[in-house]
C-alpha cells in the first residue's frame, strides 16, 4: 500500500481508467450526475448572474459573450437560471425518491414477510395506485394538496411507492427462502430484527438501481408539473417553468426553448446511465446471464472441402 | 376463450369502482375550495354555504359519492361549476381527439420499437445492437414536452412544414387533421418507444436463445422466417403487457401535449378542471382517462391469452 500522495493519485487514475474501459456508460452517467448535483449545490458560486436580476433593457438578447445562453423576457441570464433550476429538480427528486423508496420498501418487505391476507390487501392497494397514469395522479394530487414545491415532492413520492413495493416484495420473497433467514428465525430473532438485519441488506441492490431510474423520472415529473404551472412557481427558476414561459417567445427567442430542456435532458440521461451502469456492476448476472441468440446475423452454409470446413455461401 | 374474457371483465369492475372512490375522495377532501373558486375570493360565508347546499356539497361524502356514481352510470356527470354546462356531452366531443392522439402516438412508438428492437436482438452485442441501445437510451431521456417544443421550433417555426397547434376534425379535413396531429403524436410516441424498444430487444434475445428456435434453424427455416414468424410472436407477449402500461402513460402524457398543441381533448379538460377547481369536470375527465387506461390493460390481457395458449385460464380439476 502506497501512502505517498503521488502513489494515491496514480491509483485513483488507474481506477478511473479501469472503470472507463469496463463501464464507460457508468462513468459518463456518473459524470453527468455529479455535474448536475454540483451545479445545484454550488449554484450561487458558479452562476455568473443572480437568477432573479431583472434588466428590461437587455431582454430577449440572443446568446453573446456576456450572456452565453442569452436572456429571457425580463432580461434575466438564462445560463444562471438554468444552473439555479438544478436546485429544485435535485431537491424534489431526492425527497420524492426517498418517500417512494422508504414507503415502498416497508410495504413490499412487510407484505412478503408476513404474507397472507396482509400481503393480498397491500398488493391490491398498490396495483390500484399503479393503474393510474403517473402524471395524471400527480396532477390530481397537486390539485388536492395545492400547488407548491413541497406538495410536488410528496405527490411524486406517492407515485413511486407501488413500483418500489413490488420490487421489494419480489426481492424479499427470494431472500425468505435462504437458510440464513431460517437460521435467524430459529435462534429467536424478532421479526423486526430479521427484516432489518437479514432481509434489508440483501434486497438493497435492485432497490438502489430502481432508485436511480426513479430519480430520472422524478426530474421529468417535476419539470412537467412546473411546465403546467402546478409545481415551482415563478420567479423561482425550474427547467419546467422556464420552458413554459419561453413558449410565448419561441419565434423571437428559440434559445429559451432549448437551453433548460438540454440541461434537463443531460440530468435525466445521467441518472438513467448511472442506474444501468450500477445494475451491471452490482448485479453481474443481469449482464452475463443474458443468453445470446442462436442466429447472430446472416447464417452461413458450411461444406466439407478437401477435409476442411469452408464457408461457401450465405 | 369466453371464460378468460369473462374473468377479466369480472376483475375490471371492482378495480374501476375502487379507482372512482379514490378519485372522488381525493378531489373532495379539501372543503370549501370549490365554492371559493366558483364564486370568487371575496364571496361571503353565506354565499358559500348556499352554493354548497345547492350543489349538494354539504352532505356526507359517501352520500355524495353514491349520488354521483348513480348518475354517472346513467351518463350524467353533472354540470360544470364554472359555465353550468353538462359535463357528459363535453366529454363525448373531446374523447375522439384524445383517443386519436393516443392511438397515433402508440402506432408511432410501435413502428419504431418493434423493428429496431428485433434488429438489435438479432445482432446482439454487435454494432447495430449497440447503436440501437444507445438511441433508445437517448430517446428515453428526452421529456415529451421538451421534444414537443423542439419539434415546434424546427418544423413549425423554422421550416413551416406543419402548423404549430390547433385542431380540425378528421371528418372535416382528414389531411389537415393529420398535419395537425403528426407533431403531437411524434412527441408522445418517440419518447414512449424507448422503453418499448428495450422490452422488445430483451424479449427477442431470450426467445432467440430458446430450443424451438434452435429446432427451426436446424430444420433449415430461412433466418427472416425464424425471426419474424417463429420468434416475434412469442417475444410480443411480454412486449404487449408493457405496451399496455405504456399506453396508459401515453394517456397521462396527453394532458401536457394537448396543452402545448392546443388540442381540445380530455387532457385539456383535466387541466381546466384543476385550475378552476371545477369538481364535476375534474372527476369526469380524470375518470375517463383512467377508464381508458384500464380498458387498454384488460384488452391486452385478453390478447396475450390469445397469443400464448399457455396463459389461457386452465379449468381446475373437479
Spell out where chain B has E strands.
none
Q: Quote the pLDDT of residue B273.
A: 86
Residue of chain B nearest A250, judged by CA positions:
B153
Q: Do B248 and A133 touch (CB under 8 A)?
A: yes
In tens, the pLDDT along A153-191 reads 888 898 899 989 989 998 998 888 888 888 998 999 999
> What is the distance between the alpha carbons of residues B58 and B34, in angstroms, rounded to a whole number?
12
Query: B274 Cβ partners below 8 Å, 6+ apart?
Result: A139, A140, A142, A143, A230, B282
The share of chain A scoring above pLDDT 70, in percent, equals 89
Closest partner residue to A132 (CB to CB) among B19, B122, B271 is B19
> What is the distance between the alpha carbons of residues B6 and B8, in angstroms, rounded to a whole number?
5
Q: Is the CB of A289 inside 8 Å of chain B's CB atoms?
A: no
Residue A285 has pLDDT above 70, yes or no: no
Residue A283 has pLDDT above 50, yes or no: yes
> What is the distance between the alpha carbons of residues B47 and B36, in angstroms, rounded to a whole number?
10
How do the domains of chain B map onto residue ranges?
Answer: 95-263
> What is the distance between the alpha carbons of residues B179 and B167, in angstroms, rounded to a whole number?
10
pLDDT average, residue stretch B92-100: 92
Q: Quote the pLDDT of residue A29.
A: 92
In tens, the pLDDT along A163-173 reads 899 899 989 98
Strand partners, A310: A303
> What is the distance between the alpha carbons of residues A199 and A206, in angstroms, rounded to a whole number?
13
What's the gap between Cα A251 and its chain centre? 33
Average pLDDT, chain B: 84
Q: Which of A136, A141, A144 to mutate to test the interface with B (most CBs of B within 10 A)?
A: A136
pLDDT average, residue stretch B188-209: 88
pLDDT average, residue stretch B108-112: 93
- Kindly indicate the confidence band of residue A284, based on its pLDDT and cuts at 50, 70 and 90: low
Query: A234 Cβ partners below 8 Å, 6+ apart?
Result: A241, A245
> What is the distance between the alpha carbons of residues B65 and B101, in angstroms, rounded to a whole number?
31
Q: Is the CB of A161 inside 8 Å of chain B's CB atoms?
A: no
- Kindly indicate the confidence band of residue A244, based on its pLDDT and cuts at 50, 70 and 90: very high
Residue A301 has pLDDT above 70, yes or no: no
Closest partner residue to B146 (CB to CB) among A136, A264, A273 is A264
Q: Do B122 and A243 touch (CB under 8 A)?
A: no
Residue A214 has, within 13 A of its CA and on its CB side, a CA count of: 30
A235 upstream amide cis, omega within 30 of 0: yes
Residue B286 has pLDDT above 60, yes or no: yes
Closest partner residue to A264 (CB to CB) among B15, B143, B208 is B143
Q: Quote the pLDDT of residue B33.
A: 67
Q: Quote the pLDDT of residue A274.
A: 92
Query: B45 Cβ partners below 8 Å, 6+ apart?
Result: none
Q: Is the CB of A248 inside 8 Å of chain B's CB atoms?
A: no
Q: What length is written for chain A?
A: 314
- Kindly indicate the confidence band of residue B315, based on its pLDDT and cuts at 50, 70 and 90: very low
Residue B225, C-alpha cell as written in the block? 422466417
Residue A99 has pLDDT above 50, yes or no: yes
Q: Do B271 and A228 touch (CB under 8 A)?
A: yes
Please give, rounded to a whole number of angstroms, the shortest distance from the CA of B41 to a CA of chain A. 16
> What is the distance between the alpha carbons of residues B25 and B66, in angstroms, rounded to a whole number?
12
> What is the distance between the alpha carbons of residues B155 and B150, in angstroms, rounded to a whole number?
8
Q: Quote the pLDDT of residue A18.
A: 77
Q: Which of A99-113, A119-133, B2-16, B271-285 has the highest mean pLDDT?
A: A99-113
Residue A120 has pLDDT above 60, yes or no: yes
What H or E segment, with its residue span, contains residue B32? Answer: none
Q: Which of B141, B259, B290 to mutate to test the interface with A (most CBs of A within 10 A)?
A: B141
Domain B95-263 has CATH 1.10.10.10: no
Q: Is the CB of A140 inside 8 Å of chain B's CB atoms?
A: yes
Q: Do A135 and B255 touch (CB under 8 A)?
A: yes
Strand partners, A238: none
pLDDT average, residue stretch B70-79: 85
**CA–CA distances in Å: residue A235 to residues A50, A69, A76, A81, A169:** 12, 18, 11, 10, 42
Q: Quote the pLDDT of residue B1.
A: 65
Residue A88 has pLDDT above 80, yes or no: yes
Residue A305 has pLDDT above 60, yes or no: no
Question: What does pTM read for this prediction?
Answer: 0.84
Query: A269 Cβ partners below 8 Å, 6+ apart?
Result: A29, A32, A216, B137, B138, B141
Residue with cell 433593457: A57
> What is the distance between the alpha carbons of residues B102 and B247, in angstroms, rounded to a whole number?
7
The share of chain B scoring above pLDDT 90, in percent, equals 18
Q: Which of A138-142, A143-147, B45-49, B144-148 has the lowest mean pLDDT?
A: A143-147
What H or E segment, with its residue span, contains residue B277? Answer: none
Q: End-to-end alpha-carbon separation of chain A, Å?
A: 56
Question: Which of B236, B237, B242, B240 shows the shortest CA–CA distance to B118?
Answer: B236
pLDDT average, residue stretch B44-65: 83
Q: Do A140 and B23 touch (CB under 8 A)?
A: yes
Which string of DSSP letters, residue by residue, matches A17-85? HHHHHH-HHHHHHHHHHHHHHHHHHTHHHH-SS-TT---GGGTTPPS-SSSTT-B-TTS-BHHHHHHHH
Q: Quote the pLDDT of residue B212.
A: 86
- Kindly indicate the confidence band of residue B101, based on its pLDDT and cuts at 50, 70 and 90: very high
Q: Do B256 and A224 touch (CB under 8 A)?
A: yes
Residue A227, C-alpha cell as written in the block? 411546465
Amino acid at each position: 500500500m502506497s501512502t505517498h500522495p503521488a502513489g494515491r493519485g496514480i491509483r485513483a487514475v488507474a481506477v478511473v481508467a479501469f472503470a472507463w474501459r469496463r463501464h464507460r456508460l457508468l462513468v459518463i452517467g456518473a459524470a453527468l450526475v455529479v455535474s448536475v448535483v454540483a451545479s445545484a449545490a454550488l449554484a450561487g458560486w458558479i452562476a455568473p448572474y443572480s437568477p432573479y436580476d431583472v434588466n428590461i433593457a437587455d431582454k430577449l438578447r440572443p446568446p453573446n459573450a456576456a450572456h452565453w445562453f442569452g436572456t429571457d423576457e425580463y432580461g434575466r441570464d438564462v445560463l444562471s437560471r438554468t444552473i439555479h433550476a438544478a436546485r429544485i429538480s435535485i431537491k424534489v427528486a431526492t425527497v420524492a425518491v426517498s418517500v417512494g423508496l422508504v414507503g415502498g420498501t416497508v410495504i413490499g418487505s412487510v407484505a412478503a414477510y408476513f404474507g397472507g391476507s396482509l400481503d393480498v390487501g397491500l398488493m391490491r392497494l398498490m396495483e390500484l395506485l399503479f393503474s393510474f397514469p403517473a402524471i395524471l395522479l400527480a396532477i390530481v394530487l397537486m390539485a388536492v394538496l395545492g400547488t407548491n414545491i413541497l406538495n410536488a415532492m410528496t405527490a411524486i413520492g406517492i407515485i413511486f411507492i407501488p413500483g418500489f413495493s413490488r420490487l421489494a416484495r419480489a426481492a424479499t420473497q427470494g431472500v425468505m427462502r435462504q437458510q440464513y433467514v431460517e437460521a435467524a428465525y430459529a435462534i429467536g430473532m424478532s421479526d423486526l430484527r430479521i427484516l432489518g438485519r437479514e432481509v434489508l441488506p440483501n434486497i438493497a441492490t435492485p432497490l438502489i438501481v430502481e432508485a436511480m431510474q426513479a430519480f430520472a423520472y422524478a426530474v421529468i415529473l417535476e419539470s412537467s408539473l412546473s411546465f403546467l404551472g402546478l409545481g415551482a412557481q415563478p420567479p423561482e427558476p425550474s427547467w419546467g417553468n422556464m420552458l413554459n414561459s419561453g413558449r410565448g417567445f419561441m419565434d423571437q427567442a428559440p434559445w429559451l426553448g432549448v437551453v433548460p430542456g438540454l440541461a434537463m435532458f443531460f440530468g435525466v440521461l445521467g441518472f438513467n446511465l448511472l442506474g444501468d451502469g450500477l445494475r451491471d456492476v452490482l448485479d453481474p448476472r443481469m449482464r452475463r446471464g443474458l443468453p445470446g441468440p442462436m442466429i447472430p446475423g446472416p447464417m452461413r452454409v458450411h461444406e466439407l472441402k478437401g477435409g476442411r470446413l469452408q464457408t461457401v455461401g450465405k | 376463450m369466453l371464460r378468460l374474457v369473462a374473468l377479466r371483465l369480472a376483475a375490471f369492475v371492482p378495480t374501476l369502482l375502487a379507482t372512482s372512490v379514490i378519485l372522488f375522495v381525493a378531489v373532495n377532501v379539501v372543503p370549501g375550495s370549490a365554492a371559493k373558486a366558483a364564486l370568487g375570493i371575496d364571496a361571503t360565508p353565506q354565499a358559500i354555504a348556499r352554493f354548497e347546499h345547492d350543489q349538494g356539497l354539504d352532505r356526507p361524502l359517501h352520500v355524495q359519492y353514491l349520488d354521483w356514481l348513480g348518475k354517472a352510470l346513467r351518463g350524467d356527470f353533472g354540470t360544470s361549476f364554472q359555465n353550468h354546462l353538462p359535463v357528459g356531452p363535453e366529454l363525448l366531443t373531446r374523447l375522439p381527439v384524445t383517443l386519436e392522439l393516443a392511438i397515433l402516438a402508440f402506432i408511432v412508438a410501435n413502428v419504431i420499437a418493434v423493428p429496431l428492437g428485433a434488429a438489435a436482438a438479432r445482432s446482439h452485442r454487435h454494432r447495430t445492437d449497440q447503436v440501437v441501445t444507445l438511441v433508445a437510451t437517448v430517446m428515453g431521456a428526452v421529456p415529451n414536452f421538451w421534444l414537443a417544443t423542439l419539434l415546434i421550433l424546427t418544423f413549425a417555426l423554422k421550416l413551416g412544414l406543419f402548423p404549430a397547434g390547433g385542431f380540425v376534425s378528421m371528418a372535416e379535413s382528414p389531411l389537415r387533421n393529420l398535419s395537425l396531429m403528426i407533431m403531437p403524436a411524434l412527441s408522445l410516441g418517440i419518447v414512449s418507444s424507448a422503453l418499448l424498444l428495450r422490452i422488445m430487444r430483451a424479449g427477442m434475445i431470450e426467445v432467440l436463445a430458446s430450443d424451438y428456435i434452435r429446432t427451426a434453424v436446424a430444420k433449415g427455416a430461412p433466418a427472416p422466417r425464424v425471426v419474424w414468424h417463429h420468434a416475434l410472436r412469442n417475444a410480443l407477449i411480454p412486449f404487449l403487457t408493457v405496451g399496455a402500461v405504456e399506453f396508459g402513460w401515453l394517456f397521462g402524457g396527453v394532458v401536457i401535449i394537448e396543452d402545448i398543441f392546443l388540442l381540445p381533448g380530455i387532457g385539456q379538460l383535466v387541466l381546466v378542471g384543476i385550475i378552476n377547481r371545477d369538481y364535476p369536470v375534474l372527476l369526469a375527465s380524470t375518470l375517463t382517462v383512467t377508464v381508458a387506461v384500464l380498458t387498454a390493460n384488460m384488452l391486452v390481457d385478453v390478447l396475450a391469452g390469445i397469443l400464448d395458449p399457455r396463459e389461457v385460464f386452465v379449468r381446475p380439476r373437479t
